[in-house]
Amino acid sequence: MGLSRRIFISGAALSLAGCTSKPKSARLMEPRMLNAMQFRADGIPARFGDTAPHDWSGMSPINQPIHGIDAARYQGVIDWRRARASGVSFAWLKASEGGDHVDPGFHQNARAARAAGVPVGGYHFYYFCRPAAEQARWFIKQVKRNPGDLPPVLDIEWNHTSPSCQRRPAAAKVRDEMRVFLRTLEAHYSTKPVIYTTIDFWEDNGLDQFRGYDFWLRSVAGHPSSRYADARWTFWQYSGTGVVPGVPGTVDMNAFHGSDAAWRNWLAVRRQ
């Protein structure tokens, strides 16, 4: 998730998310499957690969025992049983964007993930040219409550490459809109959403002021502790160019902050 990230599909690079003011409906992409072993990289679990690896030093992703992915239509149809066997312990899938965009891959991949026993949830890509309440209602319309699913995710970051909306509201306005969106989803799903964001957005909008939410932080060039100072985090997106068995093309790779036991406890408390 994120406008600054690229994934490779049949040799071509496409941006993962692009804001739009018009509905989109399209068949799933058909990216080619890559061999993770051909893209082995230090610092990440041996069962995964990375097409553009970072030179990890100090605390690296491999130090975290629980790993997962986030994906959108660009990954096409995922073989979830193979992904689970390779060590994918969770997945968030793009479900919606703004107030009128639906990701066509969400329902198909979410159903298959559940059938394979992979905890799955949906995420919403925030659009700064629509009211927060409208976007929350749109997400709720697209993502039905499903017992056992992961909490919903608010993906909020600057839309700097959007063709239709590059607004940058003041930090106080951003935080107010976030609260509207988050509280609306919490009331509906009976669990607090997770907040995904990037380093610049975190700093620009004083997100360290938020309390009581699990943060999912993008940090592909260092451990979150070195990039976000004293930020509290639960999930770490450490690569946007990962290669995971069962997932076509490249995919975002993530880690949970904690042990196997901590992960089981988190799931027990935070699932819908």
> SS3 for 120?
strand
| Pairwise CA distance, residues 248 & 269, whole Å | 32
Task: With beta carbons less than 8 A apart as the criterion, state whether 95 and 142 touch.
Answer: yes
Query: Which amino acids are annotated catalytic?
Result: 70, 155, 157
Q: Are strands 88-97 and 101-102 parallel, antiparallel or unpaired?
A: antiparallel
Q: Read off the tokens for 155.
A: 């993906």
Give the pLDDT of the chain (272 residues) as one tens digit per residue.
754 333 333 333 333 333 333 344 456 878 999 999 999 999 999 999 999 999 998 899 999 999 999 999 999 999 999 999 999 999 999 999 999 999 999 999 999 999 999 999 999 999 999 999 999 999 999 999 999 999 999 999 998 887 888 889 999 999 999 999 999 999 999 999 999 999 999 999 999 988 899 999 999 999 999 999 778 999 999 999 999 999 999 999 999 999 999 999 999 999 99
Region of residue 206 (phi > 0: left; psi between -120 and 50: alpha; otherwise: beta): left
